[in-house]
Amino acid sequence: MSDKQEKSFDIRIVSKNLRRGTVSKQDYEKFLKSLPDDSGNYQEIQTTQEKGPSSPPEDL
């Protein structure tokens, strides 16, 4: 699949492409089935949020 074709299926614009008919539903489903299953390829991490300079003062 070419880079241009792959960009047509980008999650941010695929809905628009489907409505316009530049991508068919069958082609999109075929693309989704061709993606590898990476569901087990993750690592849990812990995050914390620090107060930044835009945070309001605590006494308000």
Domain spans in the chain, listed from the N-terminal domain onward: 3-34
Chain Cα centroid distance, residue 58: 36
**CB atoms closer than 10 angstroms to residue 23:** 19
What's the pLDDT band for 21 if we cut at 50, 70, 90? very high
pLDDT tens figures, 22-55: 999 999 999 999 999 998 999 999 999 888 777 6
- In whole angstroms, what is the distance from residue 25 CA to residue 18 CA? 7
This prediction has a pTM of: 0.59
9 within 8 A of 31, measured Cβ to Cβ? yes
Question: At residue 12, does pLDDT exceed 80?
Answer: yes
